[in-house]
Amino acid sequence: MLKTRSLHPGFGIEVLDLDLADPASDAAIDQLVRDLDHHSLILVRGQKLSNERHVEVSRRFGSLMTHVLKQFLTTGLPEIYVLSNVSENGKPIGNHKEGWNWHSDLSYVAEPSMGSLLYSVEVPPEGADTLFASMHLAYEALPPATQQRIRHMTATHSYAGYYGKAFADRAPLSDEQKARTPDVRHPVVRTHPTTGRLSLYVGEDIIKQIDGLPPEESDALLAALNRHAISDAFVYRHRWQQGDLVIWDNRCTMHCATPYDDNKYRRVMHRTTVAGTRPF
């Protein structure tokens, strides 16, 4: 039986006294896999994971995906996507200023990520918190009329559109990267495949439009849903410590990185991404 404490009244747990570097923890990892379906977010502090063990633990949750930005797969293991402001030999080792908007990882592909496991290798002493929002709680708190209105709507998710906004100062996506990330449509309300619980499936920047609505109406509805989804009542703020492993369910959460003094401090984070299925 895992020893846990709650992170937020509505979702998220911290697992205490667990050493995931120890092969004997494999039975506990099976429990984490089951717990993720019901808690949406899991924190395990004080870990000392090799890159190989990080990937090994992640694979217990499912098949792993490889990020489209191959230049940031710099650990020698392509399953690990590096988020960092650090450069070595004149080249960045990871993507900087990634995820500074509310999103669900890889929502822009036909079969988005089921979950992500983010491990803190090096963290600033202040700033760089990550905010997590429960899309289950957000949907369930909507007025019934709004729930009924959006229940069967779809939205277009566009990586090219997001990249152009978020990284306008960078070289554009290559033809290969564009080919790997065509626009896709997903439901605005999705069903959790294990629990059957409904959740909002929205986000900032990554969503081009709510399909079938005039542009102004689409923009207004999307803005209203995003505002509601990130209300304080549905949000947990994670203050990182070195050795934290945070596991989240992309099917029913959104998250957002926050700024830090990137001239003063180094930050190195390793993320693995678990494959998912088409939202329904």
What sign for the dihedral angle of Cα 149, 151, 154, 155?
positive
**Per-run averaged pLDDT (10 residues), the chain, 280 residues:** 96 98 94 98 98 98 91 93 94 89 93 98 97 98 98 93 67 75 94 98 94 97 98 98 98 97 97 98
φ, ψ dihedrals at 208, nearest 5°? -80, -40
Taking the C-alpha atoms of residue 54 and residue 87, their distance in angstroms, rounded to an integer, is 22
Q: Do domains 4-123+238-275 and 134-230 have the same CATH topology?
A: yes
Cα-based angle 245, 246, 248 (whole degrees, multiple of 5): 150
DSSP string of 133-161, one letter each residue: EEHHHHHHTS-HHHHHHHTT-EEEE-HHH
Query: Would you kindly state where each structural domain of the chain is located, as residue ranges?
Result: 4-123+238-275, 134-230
CATH, domain range 134-230: 3.60.130.10
Q: How far is CA 139 from each of CA 79, 163, 201, 229, 231, rounded to the nearest angstrom?
A: 32, 27, 9, 8, 12
DSSP string covering 101-122: S-B-TTTTSSS--SEEEEEEEE
- Does the domain formed by 4-123+238-275 have CATH 3.40.1080.10? no
CA 33, 34, 35 angle in degrees (round to 5)?
Answer: 95
* Torsion angle of the four alpha carbons 233, 108, 248, 225, in this order, in degrees rounded to the nearest 10: 10
Asked if 205 contacts 166 with a C-beta cutoff of 8 angstroms, the reply is: yes
Please compute, for residue 213, the number of CA atoms within 13 A of its CA located in the half-sphere on the CB side: 19
The whole-angstrom separation of Cα 216 and Cα 30 is: 46
pLDDT at position 161 is: 67
Distance CA 64, CA 280 (A): 21
The pTM for the full model equals: 0.93
First to last CA, the chain: 33
Residue 70 DSSP class: G
* pLDDT of amino acid 182: 87
